[in-house]
Amino acid sequence: MNKRIVISGIGIISPLGTNKDEFWRALRNGVSGFKAEGHVSGRFGARKAALIRNETIKPMFKGGQLAPNRCSNLAYLAARMALVDSGLTIDEKNTDLFGVCTASTLSNLSCLAKLTRQALKGGMRDLDPTLLPHSLLNSTSSYISIKLNIQGFNTTISNGQTSSLDAIDYAANLIKLDRVACVIVIGVEEVAKVVLDAFSSEGMLAGNNGRQICCPFDKRRNGLVLGEGAIGLVIEDIQHAFSREAKIYAEILGYGNYFSCLKGSRFSGVQKSMAKSIEKSRLDIRQIDYISAAANSDQFLDLSETIAVKKLFGSNAKRIPVSAIKSMIGETISAAGLFQVVSAIGMMHNNFVAPTINYRVRDPGCDLEYIPNKSIVKKINTALINNIGFTGSSSTLIISKPQPN
């Protein structure tokens, strides 16, 4: 169980680019993933979203057949890209040594909604049999396992906004237990009409009480703006990576999770989640160089995260740069954690901190160093990544630049 786990492959399909270098460049330049044509129409009207155009991803299949589930297609592209980037190959001799762990909460809803409409309109005999397998939440992970011939294991982690970081921890533990040698961890969500309607019906989206804008920590924030995409990470034991002379992007130092069921004390759950991850990493709080915030332009969540950081880090809180990349890519739910991991890796390797864009009006309660609107030059060795769920779950992951064995 003392194995050191590292990230050795990255694949990304995002509103800011379809490879890691495009994504990092856009982050550095503070590019918004919310385009003029980026709207989804639902029962409650058109809503802004950070979208990926289908025309962008279709050529990447090179004539191959697409799955009925769009999330499966996005996730497969990211997983395949991560595998190629890692330099690993899968064949009949080593297929049992690989696993797939997919983080998703909403990826099956589009197919499930289509089936429901068919059943209501014409009865069970009118159901499209090709949609049935893809209406299950684990269908995306199974699809990737089949396409890439991965037989070690495949599983799905579905825990809302914390799913991605929870999936990394789950996968890392299976490597430490010698169940597999390598795992492709995937986070994926899409902004389907049914998803948009669900968030709209709960009054969670920006635009009800102000502009449709994603502006974390800003006083004008008034709700979420959704985003979509997929990320794949290859993780493995550091000795395994060294043995094949793999490029190592980052080392996973520690993970913490906490559930706080009382909304008024949500900040304490975030604080405890961060504290656990720092303890497991065997770090001092002064060794944290950057915080990737979960902030998503929700009034309560952004404030809770700020309070948690100040309570845990004390006098050090205001010296640590904190930024929210969701200002550029939106709230991607289960994919958010992996987007934040990949962004933190880009910052560590390129010596910058991505900005929190759309920041204009200061909120007195949110008074940390949020890197407003423009990136800064900074050397980062250790990054803390927060995910906070609406239902009370908080997860934190700490990663670092790879160190000699």
Which residues in the chain show pLDDT less than 70? 1, 36-38, 63-65, 262-266, 404-405
Q: Does domain 5-244 have CATH number 3.40.47.10?
A: yes
Q: Which residues contact 21 (CB under 8 A, 6 or more apart)?
A: none
Token digits of residue 226:
């959704």
User: Which residue has 């064949």 as its token pair?
Assistant: 91
pLDDT digits (tens, 9 = 90+) for 319-356: 999 999 999 999 999 999 999 999 999 999 999 999 99
Q: Give the model's pLDDT for residue 40.
A: 79
Q: What is the pLDDT of residues 331-340, one digit of tens each?
A: 999 999 999 9
What pLDDT, on a 0 to 100 scale, did the predictor assign at position 404?
A: 65
Domain boundaries, the chain: 5-244, 253-400
Rounded Cα gap, residues 238 and 6, in angstroms: 6
Q: What is the CA radius of gyration of the chain?
A: 20
* pTM of structure: 0.95
Query: Residue 300 has what pLDDT?
Result: 93
- The CATH T-level fold of domain 253-400 is Peroxisomal Thiolase; Chain A, domain 1 (3.40.47)
How far is it, in rounded angstroms, from Cα 318 to Cα 316? 6
Cβ atoms of 187 and 338 within 8 Å: the answer is yes
- pLDDT tens readout for residues 199-226: 988 899 998 877 899 999 999 999 999 9
Distant-in-sequence, close-in-space partners of 341: CB < 8 Å, separation ≥ 6 = 7, 164, 165, 168, 231, 233, 250, 292, 385, 397, 399
Element (DSSP H or E) covering residue 323: strand 322-323
Say yes or no: do domains 5-244 and 253-400 share a fold: yes
| 3-state DSSP of 106-132 | CCCHHHHHHHHHHHHHHCHHHCCCCCC
